[in-house]
Chains A and B, each alone.
Chain A
Amino acid sequence: MAEPTIYEISSQDRIGFRFPACDVPETALPEGLIRDELPMPEVSELDVIRHFTNLSRLNYSIDSGYYPLGSCTMKYNPKINEEVARLPGFAFSHPLQPVETVQGNLAMMYELQLWLAEICGMAGVTLQPAAGAQGEYTGVLIIRAYHHSRGDLKRTKMLIPDSAHGTNPATSAMSGFEVVGITTDATGNVDLDALKAVLDDTVAGLMLTNPNTLGLFDQNVEEVIRLVHEAGGLVYGDGANLNALLGIVRPGDLGFDIMHFNLHKTFSTPHGGGGPGSGPVGVAKHLVDFLPFPLVGIIEEGDEETPPLYGFVRPEKTIGRMKSFHGQFGMMVRAYNYISMHGPDGLRDIAESAVLNANYLLARLRNTYNVPFDRICMHEFVMEGHLDDAPDVHALDIAKRLMDYDFHPPTNYFPLIVHEALMIEPTETENKQTLDRFADVLIKIAEEARTNPDLLHTAPHHTPVGRLDEVRAAKELVLCCWLPDKI
């Protein structure tokens, strides 16, 4: 039985929450500016709690099971982070308070800027961008502003390898760049010849995902960056896959000029069913002046007795403001706490365990599924969800069948350069027993694909709903609850 909508359980004049009575003399509401109807639900608190609890039970989540969604870094989200983000000193501070009254917030943000800069080898970090895609946007706007500040207006092209993240082309287009694709060579690296062929003085930069979306560390990364720099371009690093690099190598040391972080991937802030994310951006020394404002800085030096006074500063050639206020502060609190609980050794352990888990799964599955770029991978790998002796079975069928075994499917049909791609990112927080169970099930599904393909075509069988009619959804376009008569 499907859960009714909140409107369907509404009952006229039922009240769920009361505010205190008005303690001031009342004046009339402004005539002509009052709404006629307020079509909102009328439910009790228990109605609300039961409704949303029932809905929650229709969700798969990290807390309930294994979620190897490639490029999404679905690691365990420590519960302590939720506690500390709700401390009253953080939760009830207003973003426009005098800085003297929020030194705890600002000290934390200042230190987080430094820590992220240290982790990725960059000279400056902004915490403002709201999510990875906005971090990318920030980075690309910085590239644009950098060239323009030098009077170099002819750089209109952004190079994007076909193994890069999906948002990169849209981000570049939003910033007024023409997107030029770069192919991948047979070993899964950026094709150097293809790169050389397009490098000239119209290239603004290259957006490189490393490890790339095949889960592979580009073996020529230093050469790629050198070539782009030689042509006068800048190199942007997509930080979505940073989990593989913590304490392993710093993108800044490799020569990247800019990169973004996904606090909601690498630094364990929960995904929340689609946000909030947080996408800080780090830049090398020559780009610090272009960062968005405001940054957190020291506005009065301290001494042995008094701590410094933290406040907001505006970089000299700033690209402007990306969003209201100072970024997704609550996510910063969680990430700060997470880094505190790891330290340098713990961060390296994250990357090592993530890479170990991915290579272990790859080793267990490569004899069953075809892995097109088969070498030691980083934190994830991509295999084909297609078997030679089961031609009618597709990646989607395998993904849906995994649900029947109570696993969340991997990312499917991405990256586009692998036929019927299944992109698997185990993360570091999964134990060997879970990985073994997952590998066993995938091997069993391959067998089912050969012996009983219909079982896969009609999967999933044990979920709250079966495969949904997406064509109908787009055609009928019902985007709002049906409203009862009396509302």
Chain B
Amino acid sequence: MFTPHTDSEREEMLRVIGVRKLDDLFADVPIKLRFPNLELPPAFTEIEARMQMEELAGANETAHDLACFLGAGAYYHYTPAAVDAIIRRGEFLTAYTPYQPEVSQGTLQAVFEFQSLIANLTGMDVSNASHYDGATATAEAAVMAYHHFRGKRTRFILSPSLNPQYREVVKTYMGGYENINLAGENLDPLCQPDDLASLLDDNTALLIVQYPDFFGRIFDFTALIEKAHQFGALVAVAVNPMSLGVLKTPGAMGADIAVGEGQSLGLPLSFGGPYLGFFATKKEYVRKIAGRLVGETADAEGRRGYVLTLTAREQHIRREKATSNICTNQGLMALATTVYMSLLGKHGLKQLANLCYQKAHYAAEQISKLDGYSVVSQRPFFHEFVVKCPKPVDEINWHLLDHDILGGYDLGQDYPSLAGHMLIAVTEMVSKDEIDALCEALEEVNNG
């Protein structure tokens, strides 16, 4: 197994230490509490453990076995074999955070390339090394804005079409600060950018919008961002990076911060994690970013190399004056998306975004022809859209499951006014035939 000592080696080591038996090493532990009996199953061998895990995994139905139309923040995309081949290399997989740059250049350069790819994809100046996921990256944007205004601006406007889970996490993260006012929740969920503009005031620290939004819609936020800037507020755009294979960037719209969930860049669904938060911003805010940054430099002989930089911002140095406590982030997932973005490159990222867009529009077109269903999302939308259904969404989804289809997200769970509305996502993983099968099954429910 994983502990190597033989009995004689153990004896020899105890002799060198100068104690008689192993238990003597634990004399500081209160004796009445020492060596508890843990009620756990007895140890499995690797063969038994694998069988157990196969049985558990086998008890699930997955996006792989079904035609998947479920998105709402996590998307079923194809992961090229090359991605896993690289991240399974022990040299990447079993290294720690690159505190010793001389023996960590592989990780450091990969993070440097990740920062470059994210900055270029989002149209921003700089990116950090990652956050836990899209929700916490969004929350860190709020924290950064709070500190940017030294706590003097306390209004945070969150678009109602921001992923509801992101809103919840922002709420948790802002819970430690005094008098925070989170606005936007009471707007019509399907409101327009102008409705958000009306909430701006001189006390607004940050406006957070999503792009494409939670309902899949795409707006050009340029005018809204300009308006926010007139009030002196910052604007963060939570963006699906995959869509940026074709769409105008947050940077081009003037956003101060672009955050988002990197899962759509080739990370497996994995029941919600590990995913990847990213955080990119303008050069002028680089010293206010939380988390790790990798910078280029050189050694004494002039050889190019990379180091963690601006570490004085971080928790281990600034301690209670640090604005974030993040240390371990999503290094391996950042590597996976770096490989993914490199492999797909300019051509593949564009092709992928276009495929998702086209298939989603075909699906919306077909569904809108069905009796009882109407597509609520006006164009333009990207690869997700809202459908008003003739029956409760969970009832429809049970029917779809009988046809090996994983139906869309029930929006009534988060938005009472959208009960009976389904959010449908379409990616490159579904074929025209599967979209047609979805339409047939939807029609069947309505008639049934």
Task: Check A352–B22 contact: CB distance below 8 A.
Answer: yes
For B187, what are the chain A residues with a Cβ–Cβ distance below 8 Å? none
A248 touching B35 in the complex, CB below 8 Å, given contacts A34-B247, A343-B43: yes
For B89, what are the chain A residues with a Cβ–Cβ distance below 8 Å? 52-53, 56
Task: Check A96–B325 contact: CB distance below 8 A.
Answer: no
Task: Check A467–B299 contact: CB distance below 8 A.
Answer: yes
In the complex, whether B148 has a CB less than 8 A from a CB of chain A is no
A20-28, A280-288, A448-456 - the one binding chain B? A20-28
B191-199, B229-237, B332-340, B440-448 - the one binding chain A? B332-340
Task: Check B76–A74 contact: CB distance below 8 A.
Answer: no
Contact flags (1/0) for B5-44 with A, using CB distance below 8 Å? Answer: 1000110111011110010111111100111111111111
In the complex, whether B368 has a CB less than 8 A from a CB of chain A is no
For A273, what are the chain B residues with a Cβ–Cβ distance below 8 Å? 92-93, 95-98, 104, 106-107, 110-111, 331-332, 335
Further 4 A-B residue pairs, CB within 8 A, beyond A6-B113, A59-B91: A74-B96, A273-B106, A360-B17, A464-B103
A448-B331 Cα distance, complex, nearest whole Å: 36
Chain A nearest Cβ from B87, distance in angstroms: 8
Chain B nearest Cβ from A189, distance in angstroms: 9
Task: Check B92–A468 contact: CB distance below 8 A.
Answer: no
In the complex, whether A141 has a CB less than 8 A from a CB of chain B is yes
Interface size on B, residues (CB 8 A): 208
B46-54, B154-162, B384-392 - the one binding chain A? B46-54
A318-B68 Cα distance, complex, nearest whole Å: 32
In the complex, whether B256 has a CB less than 8 A from a CB of chain A is no
Task: Check A326–B272 contact: CB distance below 8 A.
Answer: yes
Task: Check A105–B60 contact: CB distance below 8 A.
Answer: yes
A472-B73 Cα distance, complex, nearest whole Å: 40
A:94-130 near B, CB below 8 Å: 94-98, 101-105, 107-108, 115, 118-119, 121, 130
In the complex, whether A16 has a CB less than 8 A from a CB of chain B is yes
For A171, what are the chain B residues with a Cβ–Cβ distance below 8 Å? 315, 325
* Cross-chain contact of A93 among B92, B168, B271, B292 (Cβ < 8 A): B271
In the complex, whether A484 has a CB less than 8 A from a CB of chain B is no
A469 touching B299 in the complex, CB below 8 Å, given contacts A77-B93, A247-B35, A356-B5: yes
For B370, what are the chain A residues with a Cβ–Cβ distance below 8 Å? none
In the complex, whether B255 has a CB less than 8 A from a CB of chain A is no
Chain B nearest Cβ from A163, distance in angstroms: 14
A398-B33 Cα distance, complex, nearest whole Å: 40
Task: Check A30–B379 contact: CB distance below 8 A.
Answer: yes
* Cross-chain contact of A337 among B35, B53, B74 (Cβ < 8 A): B53
For A166, what are the chain B residues with a Cβ–Cβ distance below 8 Å? 315-316, 319
Chain A to chain B contacts (Cβ below 8 Å), 15 pairs: A15-B347, A19-B428, A63-B91, A87-B57, A93-B61, A93-B270, A248-B29, A249-B34, A273-B331, A276-B273, A323-B133, A336-B53, A341-B43, A341-B45, A341-B49
A91 touching B268 in the complex, CB below 8 Å, given contacts A19-B355, A430-B4: yes
Chain A nearest Cβ from B161, distance in angstroms: 16
Contact flags (1/0) for B295-307 with A, using CB distance below 8 Å? Answer: 1111111011111
For A17, what are the chain B residues with a Cβ–Cβ distance below 8 Å? 80, 343-345, 348
Task: Check B246–A5 contact: CB distance below 8 A.
Answer: no
A324 touching B134 in the complex, CB below 8 Å, given contacts A341-B44, A472-B298: yes
Task: Check B53–A84 contact: CB distance below 8 A.
Answer: yes
A:340-361 near B, CB below 8 Å: 340-350, 352-353, 355-357, 359-360
For A63, what are the chain B residues with a Cβ–Cβ distance below 8 Å? 90-91, 93-94
In the complex, whether A88 has a CB less than 8 A from a CB of chain B is yes
For B214, what are the chain A residues with a Cβ–Cβ distance below 8 Å? none
Chain A nearest Cβ from B80, distance in angstroms: 6
Task: Check A107–B64 contact: CB distance below 8 A.
Answer: no
* Cross-chain contact of B95 among A59, A86, A465, A477 (Cβ < 8 A): A59
Contact flags (1/0) for B277-303 with A, using CB distance below 8 Å? Answer: 000000000100000111111111101
A29-B249 Cα distance, complex, nearest whole Å: 15
For B342, what are the chain A residues with a Cβ–Cβ distance below 8 Å? 6, 16, 41, 43, 48, 51
In the complex, whether B207 has a CB less than 8 A from a CB of chain A is no
For A170, what are the chain B residues with a Cβ–Cβ distance below 8 Å? 315, 318-320, 322, 324-325
* Cross-chain contact of B57 among A41, A88, A131, A355 (Cβ < 8 A): A88
Chain B nearest Cβ from A358, distance in angstroms: 9
Chain A nearest Cβ from B210, distance in angstroms: 13
A:21-61 near B, CB below 8 Å: 22-27, 29-30, 32-36, 38-43, 45, 48-49, 51-53, 55-61
A102-B65 Cα distance, complex, nearest whole Å: 13
A5 touching B116 in the complex, CB below 8 Å, given contacts A40-B341, A103-B60, A479-B293: yes
Task: Check A400–B91 contact: CB distance below 8 A.
Answer: no
In the complex, whether A270 has a CB less than 8 A from a CB of chain B is yes
**Cβ-closest 7 pairs across A and B:** A325-B272, A89-B57, A63-B90, A272-B332, A95-B272, A274-B331, A104-B59
